[in-house]
């Protein structure tokens, strides 16, 4: 499997695959005589895992931890749970922030009377009194 095939199979860009190798998230594969990367199914599984975790919004460092944890199948699930819960809390915080922001913006945009900038409520909201 060449890098382009792996990339396609995981909906990843080729450059991103190479980037994951550079930051040691993905182990360097064997090379062909032409120095092309040759991937096997273990790489496909690993990259799929990475992409799903990234899609769920886990940071690269969190993914790195999850990968390490998932490699030791006999270990307790506690650490995995902690990472996921921490991430969930963070996502909830962001939703809260954005929801507050939306109210503000709704208010600001709703106040616009489409006159000149001098009487613009949006600019007024931003400008100091």
Partner DNA sequence: CTTGACCCTATAGTTACTACAGGGTGTAGA
Partner DNA sequence: TCTACACCCTGTAGTAACTATAGGGTCAAG
- Is 93 a binding residue for DNA by CB under 7 A? The answer is no
Q: Report helix, strand or coil for 9.
A: helix
Residue 39 near residue 2, CB atoms below 8 Å:
yes
**Which of these ranges, 8-16, 72-80, 97-105, 119-127, lies near DNA under the rule CB under 7 A?**
8-16
- Is 40 a binding residue for its own copies by CB under 8 A? The answer is no
**Site mask for its own copies (CB under 8 A), range 73-102, x = bound:** xxxxxx-xx--xx-xx--xx-xx--xx-xx
Which lies closer to DNA via its Cβ, residue 32 or residue 103?
32
Which lies closer to its own copies via its Cβ, residue 15 or residue 97?
97
Q: What is the distance, to the nearest Å, from the Cα of residue 79 to the centroid of all Cα atoms in its chain?
A: 20
Cβ neighbours of residue 40 closer than 8 Å, sequence gap 6 or more: 1, 29
């Amino acid at each position: 499997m060449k890098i382009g095939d792996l990339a396609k199979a995981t909906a990843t860009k080729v450059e991103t695959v190479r980037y994951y190798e550079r930051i040691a998230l993905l182990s360097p594969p064997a090379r062909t005589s032409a120095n092309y990367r040759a991937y096997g199914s273990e790489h496909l599984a690993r990259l799929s895992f990475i992409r799903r975790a990234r899609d769920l919004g886990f940071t690269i460092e969190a993914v790195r931890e999850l990968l390490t944890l998932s490699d030791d199948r006999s270990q307790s699930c506690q650490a995995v749970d902690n990472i996921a819960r921490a991430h969930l809390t963070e996502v909830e915080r962001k939703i809260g922030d954005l929801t507050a922001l939306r109210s503000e913006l709704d208010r600001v945009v709703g106040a616009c009377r489409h006159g000149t900038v001098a009487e613009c409520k949006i600019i007024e909201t931003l400008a100091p009194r």
